[in-house]
Chains A and B, each alone.
Chain A
Amino acid sequence: MTASQIIFYLIAAFILGCGILSMTTRKIFRSAIWLLFSLIGVSALYFWLQVEFIAAVQIVVYVGGIVVLIIFSVFLTQQSGTEMPKAPRKRMIASILAVLFGFAFTFSLIYKNNFKAGDGKFDSDISRIGDQMLSTGEQGFALPFEAVSILLLAAMIGCIVIAMKAPTHQQAASQAEPKENEGNISAKPNAQ
C-alpha cells in the first residue's frame, strides 16, 4: 500500500464519518459544523485528484459561503442549543432500510460495470479551463457561462425581494402621509 492509497482511504473515512455525524446529530449547530468538515474533506479529495482549481472553488464557495450562510440562518431562526425532536422509530427504520437497499443496488451496478480507462493525460491547467470557458467555438462554454451569470443575478434580486421586511400597516401609513402633504402643498399653488 503506497502513501497515496493510505491518504485516499483516510480522506474517504473522514468525509463519510463527518457526513454521517452531520445527518444524525440532534443539535442543529453541530450538524452545520460537521457539514463544514465534510465539505473540507471533499475539497481535500479534489486536491488528491489533482484538480486544484475545483478544490479552491469548493473551499471558497462551500466552506466560505454556503456554510456561513447556513450558520447565520441557524442563528436567525432558532435557539442553536436546543435539541431537535427525534424522528419516529418507524420512519427511521424505514429510511435506513430504503437507504441500505438503494446503496446496495447502486453499488452492485457500479461493481459489475467494468469501466474502460481512457487514454491521454489529464491536464486541468487553469489557463486551459479559462480558455475553454470563454470560447465560443466547438468545445466552448461561453453560452452556459452567460446563462449561469444571469441565473445568479436573478437569484440575488429574488433573495432581496423575498427576505425584505414587508412594511407593517402603520409604518406604511406614516410613510405615506408626509408625501401626501407635500403633494398638497405643491398642488395648491397650481390650483390658485
Chain B
Amino acid sequence: MNGIPISHILFLSTALFFIGTYGMFTRRNLITMLMAIELILNSVNINFIVFNKYLWPGKLDGVFFTIFIITIAAAEAAVAIAIIINLYRSHRSIDVEDATELKW
C-alpha cells in the first residue's frame, strides 16, 4: 500500500516510543516528563492507525481507539498541569527530586 511496507512505519513508531522513554529516564522536570508522555502516546496512536489500515481495512476499531486515546491524553495533560501549578505554588520548584513528601 503506497509502496511502503508496514515494518517501516512500525520502525517509526517504535523509535518515537523509545525517544519518549529516553526523555522519561533522563529528565527530572515535571513538564518535560509530561512532554515525553505525549510522545509515547503519539507513537501508540500511529500504531493503532497503521494496524487498522494495513491489517483490517474493513473495520474502524483502530480509528476509534485513537480518538479515545487522544481524548484521555487531553484530560491527563490538563490534570497534570493543574497538579504541577499547585506543586509550584507550595514548593517553588517542579523538580521531581524536590517533591518527596509521599516517599516512604
Contact = CB atoms under 8 A, between A and B. Distances in A.
Contacts of A45: 12, 46
B85 interface: yes
Consensus secondary structure, chain A interface: helix
A124 B63 contact: yes
A20 B82 CA distance: 27
B10 A66 contact: no
Interface residue range, chain A: 35 or more
Given A35-B35, A51-B63, A57-B70, A20 B79 contact: no
Given A61-B74, A84-B29, A5 B39 contact: no
Nearest to B42: A42
Consensus secondary structure, chain B interface: helix
A31 B32 contact: yes
Interface in B4-21: 4, 6-12, 14-16, 18-21
A66 B38 contact: yes
Q: Which of the listed residues A72, A99, A103 has the most CB atoms from chain B within 10 Å of its own CB? A: A99
A78 B92 CA distance: 9
Given A54-B67, A110-B10, A91 B86 contact: no
Interface in A101-138: 102-103, 106-107, 110-111, 115-124, 128-129, 132-133
Interface string A1-37: 0101100100010011001101100001001100100
B28 A70 contact: no
Interface of A: 2, 4-5, 8, 12, 15-16, 19-20, 22-23, 28, 31-32, 35, 38-39, 42, 45-46, 48-49, 51, 53-54, 57-58, 61-62, 65-66, 69-70, 72-74, 76-78, 84-85, 87, 91-92, 94-96, 98-99, 102-103, 106-107, 110-111, 115-124, 128-129, 132-133, 139, 141, 144, 148, 151-152, 155-156, 158-160, 162-163, 165
6 contacts: A87-B27, A117-B1, A133-B67, A148-B72, A152-B74, A155-B79
